[in-house]
Structure 1
Amino acid sequence: MKNLFRILSIILLLCMHSSVFSQFTFENYYGGIDYEEGSAVAETDDGGFIVVGYTESFGAGGSDFFVVRTAADGDTVWTKTYGGTSSDVAKDIVKLDGGHYMIGGFTSSFGLDEPDIYLIEIDYDGNALWSKTIGTEENEQLNKIRKTSDGGFIICGITEKLSHYKYYIVKTNSSGDTLWTRAYDYGIAEWIEQTDDGGYILVVYPYEPFGVTRYDFQLVKLDSDGETAWSKFYGAADPVHEISFAVQQATDGGYLLAGRVDGYGAGGSDFLILKTDADGDSLWSKTFGGGEDERAFTLINTSDGGYLIGGYTATFGGGYFDFYLVKTDENGDSLWTRTYGGEWQEMVFDVKETSDGGFAAVGYTLSYGAGDYDAYLVRTNHDGVVTAISQPETSFGERPELLQNYPNPFNSSTVISWQSPKAGWQTLIIYDMLGKEVATLVDEYRTAGRHMVKFNADGLASGMYCCKFLADDRTSTINMVIGK
């Protein structure tokens, strides 16, 4: 009887420990007084996370790779920056064996004249083991990096040829040495995955330098040597716009694409997912969203056979934009949707399933943090629920400041943000490049804090515009680009 009691006690303790660990959820931010963004996240062996992105608050100057390792509860273990005096931006992270990580991005500090792809391998303590630049005298930028079955890496992004973007794929060995590169048609390679046959699948943001850009989902299948097997487009006729940002191979050998659609759905723009068979033939599509804007930037397969899509929503939640996660089954039917964030602006760029079946989402926040935008990490349980929320007081700096609008460039509308440490009369005016006033968005008394306004550009021609902000005898400006 005593032995049975001991066994039952041990089982109970193990179950309690497992339950407590699986319920570790939080929201947390990381950054300084300037701009930080989280681009990607990887779980560590101890249940913590490594977040990568870029910082303008710390480092050698300009922007630098920003890498934060956290404990399982989201508290910072260490923070590292990598880069030079110019612009260095981390876009993705891959977990390797032995507690190492590969970080991919692009650099203007090192390499040749224009931005080059930049790879850094780090150990568990954030020590850089080696770094490589990949590129030409033109502009090369990385969007995603994946580990391949041979131990090397596959990279997707862009290369600039004669001032126009072409989608660009690079294959390397495990040390980052280039094995081959391919430049394809005009466009931006947003996402890549290795497929079961040893080839690759990618989604492309189409780009037409000599005419009207085609706004459709584009799916491209490559063989193991990077040669194009097929390329297919999916979309309705203009003025409907579909843009894909993520893709995964499904368990049946087909593919699921995620992005946004403008022109049908609930209104504004909506999450759009599209399922194909193994040959790229469309099977079904689904939209998610409300009357305002929703855009999906990331997608993963989940262990239950379904999918998780992440991006932002302007319809639901408590702010202008909020983290927006949609969990579906294998048929694309919604199981749950969740929003996270404060009263201003949050946006998701990467999601991962955690070892206990929960989820981690990373991006940026304007609602919380030490200054401007900060990297923002949300860790949920398997139902997308967060039970511990960090909502620190926010500093607004010492002077009024106009922040960069998002999105930029934009088609029909964008959100302009600013902050002021004290109340007073505040004015926000839009000018064209000839100095002609085209819109006054704000001209009134405003309280101290952060403010946002949506700018509708319907009726304005494509091109560069200037936004001027006046408050407390200070003036600041940003440039915005309308592309139609």
Structure 2
Amino acid sequence: MKHFKLLAVLTAFMFTGVLSAQDNIGSTPSTNQPSQYETGRESYNESDAFYSTELEAQHKAALENGNSIEAKQIEKQMESKIPAKNIYKSKFNNNDDQQVQGSQPPFNPDWYGSDVTVYSGAIKFGDPYFRQIDMKMGEDGNMYVALNRAPVSGTNGRIDVYRSSNGGATWIYSNGVSTSTAYYGTVSLLVELRGTSPDSSRVFVFYSRSAGSNNDGATMNFASWRRDGSAWYSAEIAAPPANQEYSFTTAISDGFFWSTGTYVGVLCTESNNALTVTNNFRYYRSINWGQTWTGVTISSGYDDFYPSADLRPGASSGSDSVWIAVERRLSATQYEVRVIRTPFSPTASSNTYFVTSGGANVKYEKPALSVKQNAPTDTAIITTTKNGVAYYLPTTNGGGLWSTDFNLGSGNGNNKSFTWCNSSSRGSNSLISMWVSNDGDSINIRRGVVNFMGTTQFKRNSNTASTSVAPTCMVYSPDANTNLSAFSYAGFGPTNIYANQEALITGINQNGTSIPENFSLSQNYPNPFNPVTNIKFNLPKSGYVKLVVFDVMGREVATMLNENMNAGSYTADFDASQLSSGIYFYKLITADFTDTKKMMLVK
């Protein structure tokens, strides 16, 4: 089993913003009954697994134990039991997709009161392909943001990934994928450890790829690399039937429970080129980090749009399944939320949870799903809009019973365009939900538990958000007992990608390009201060650097810096809004130098 490694910033502050009380009035248990349009039609499909759960368990055990020869032998046994039509070998070098060297983000010089600019430039958009960015907490404890750039002359498609090792204070470029001959559609992201070292983490970006800008005939593709950008490769997984396209990629893995034994997967919509009729979902899973894939077709028999999928862990890996939240269009005036369940080990088997029953003239739209990664899982939530009002739909018994219409905020109002959600398997207040107004004015966030999703933080964004690209959010867990809210979004246009995180306490800025001769730690200025002060320090050579703050009892109250830094002169902006007045000490630690100074907070 994997021991989850968290290399991140310990923080103790809260978002600023206008707050509002909890309001869950109007929630009801789901009847889990089909609508009049679904009554009498099959809600499940039966299909045998290609190979036994025992064989899969043996394969994972061999991978986890580092026995690559045995793992390869078992892999061949597994593959021999899969019909040829369900085996997809990645087509490497099948197109001109290539890695790119991106520029570092344009950090705001004074950002702690506003959002961090991760990327400056236009973002891809085109109705209804609204998933153009994704955000994940990697298994290395770092934060990652993937974004799909708008086409420019000479580069029709380009996806970039940025990484933050200090809770979103600063971002560095990881790698990306680009092409001059094709266009990229919707994007989904995974970051998985492939061993015990954080440097073994691999980034997976899944995307649809089309010769035309309208996504017609789009294929399913991926690119992958280590978090430092090395060991890059990309490939096509599969192509759709004639006059069809793949879209709305949604990535899945069981990586929370494994390291070298992780399996990765992706699910997408198969539809007509106009994306007005959905035919099936395609699900592909790889047991060898993307070299080959087992693919199946999952058919519901309905027009199911905008799939949002996640792993639903069982009591053992052999009982894991994939849940797929969809917008089911039963008529021109009735859209409902359904959850389709299929085994994690790919088969065409599926059954359906009939989560909502809004009836005529009710439209539940664009659901987002998050399942807590417990084994077996206990909680999952779906966020969605119902006639333009944002709600969440939870289950606390692994899907046996769902509840509907938990209002995401008092004074919610209508005209909400997008929602998103995420969860953590550890700590308290481990569910996060987000919704945004139609005009992009307000991105609102709550983090808590079912029945009390936490206090609403209205208009958390400091820039107007895009009305055509959905924002994304995640629970950031710097340690086993701490959960914090983080989000990213495209600015109006759509242009630029911004990010922010609860407890963002410091900005680190380099002062010029000259290299100092000696290590030094300056006295903070101003001092005394309230609530922000600047701390300057010099690094004559590159290396691991830690900058921490202690109270008079010697307790660490903030970590401003905890990563490798290049040689140079720097200024750290420290915001002590949530600390009490008093004396504090800040300490700079490197391999060759340590110094401590005193500062005073006066409120």
**In which range does the TM-score fall when normalised by the shorter chain?**
0.5 to 0.7
Superposition RMSD in Å: 3.6
State the percentage of identical aligned residues: 10
Distance 2:490 2:407 in 1: 24
Deviation, structure 1 residue 362: 2.0
Deviation at 1:215, TM superposition (A): 0.9
Counterpart for residue 462 of structure 2: 342
Q: Does 1:133 align with 2:236?
A: yes
Aligned amino acid, residue 299 of structure 2: Y
How much has 1:283 moved relative to structure 2? Answer: 4.5
Taking structure 1 as reference, are residues 298 and 168 closer, same or farther at Cα in structure 2, changes over 3 Å only?
A: farther
2:210 alignment counterpart: 108
Q: Comparing both structures, which one devotes a greater share of its residues to strand?
A: 1
Deviation at 1:54, TM superposition (A): 0.7
2:295 maps to a residue whose letter is W
What whole-Å deviation, never above 9, does each CA across 1:374-422 have from its counterpart, x for those lacking one? 11211213xxxx45699xxxxxxxxxxxxxxxxxxxxxxxxxxxxxxxx
Q: Identify the residue that residue 150 of structure 2 maps to in structure 1.
A: 56
* Structure whose CA Rg is larger: 2
The answer to whether residue 233 in structure 2 is matched with residue 119 in structure 1 is no
In structure 1, the partner of 2:178 is: 83
- Please say if residues 312 and 373 of structure 2, whose CA atoms lie closer than 8 Å, have aligned partners that are also in contact: no
Alignment of 1:308-319 (within 5 A): 308-314=431-437
Whole-angstrom distance in 2 between the partners of 1:18 and 1:52: 24
**Residue 284 of structure 1: how far off its partner (Å):** 5.7
Does the alignment pair 1:30 with 2:118?
Answer: yes
Q: Please say if residues 321 and 345 of structure 1, whose CA atoms lie closer than 8 Å, have aligned partners that are also in contact.
A: yes
Aligned-pair distance for 1:183?
A: 3.2
Deviation at 1:187, TM superposition (A): 1.6
**Alpha-carbon displacement from aligned partner over 1:308-349 (angstroms, at most 9, x marks no partner):** 33333339xxx84333211122x3313222242135225522
Which residue does the alignment assign to 2:352? 231
The 3-state SS of whatever aligns with 2:156 is: coil
* Equivalent-residue separation in structure 1 for 2:312 and 2:270 (angstroms): 21
Q: Which amino acid aligns with 2:285?
A: K
* Pair 1:92 & 2:189 matched: yes
Structure 2: which amino acid aligns with 1:141? S
> Which protein, 1 or 2, shows the higher relative CO under an 8 Å CA cutoff with sep ≥ 6?
2
Deviation at 1:59, TM superposition (A): 8.8
Match of 1:169 in 2: 283
Query: What residue is the counterpart of 2:269 in the other structure?
Result: 158
Consecutive unaligned residues of structure 1, counting only runs of 5 or more, are: 1-16, 391-484
Structure 1 residues 180, 126: CA separation in 2 closer, same or farther (over 3 Å shift)? same
TM-score in terms of structure 1 length: 0.63
Cα distance in 2, alignment partners of residues 293 and 250 from structure 1: 32
- Indicate the residue corresponding to 1:481 in structure 2: none
Report the CA distance shift for 1:43/1:192 in structure 2 as closer, same or farther (over 3 A).
closer
Alignment of 1:292-331 (within 5 A): 292-294=414-416, 295-301=418-424, 303-314=426-437, 320-329=440-449, 331=450
Alignment of 1:147-296 (within 5 A): 147-148=253-254, 150-160=261-271, 164-165=277-278, 166-176=280-290, 177-185=292-300, 186-188=303-305, 189-196=307-314, 197-207=319-329, 212=332, 214-223=334-343, 224-233=345-354, 234-243=356-365, 244-249=367-372, 253-263=377-387, 268-275=388-395, 277-283=397-403, 285-289=405-409, 290-294=412-416, 295-296=418-419
The answer for unaligned runs of 5 or more in structure 2 is 1-8, 16-110, 125-130, 195-199, 509-603
- Could you tell me whether the CA contact under 8 Å between 2:163 and 2:173 is conserved in 1? yes
1:351 to partner: Cα distance: 1.4
Distance 2:361 2:507 in 1: 41
Contact 1:310 1:349 in 2 (8 A): no
Q: Is the 8 A contact 1:167 1:204 kept in 2?
A: no
- Size of the aligned set, in residue pairs, is 355
Amino acid at match of 1:215: Y
Q: Give me the whole-angstrom Cα distance separating, in 2, the residues matched to 1:344 and 1:78.
A: 24
- Alpha-carbon separation, structure 2, partners of 1:28 and 1:38: 18
Q: Secondary structure at the match of 1:340?
A: coil
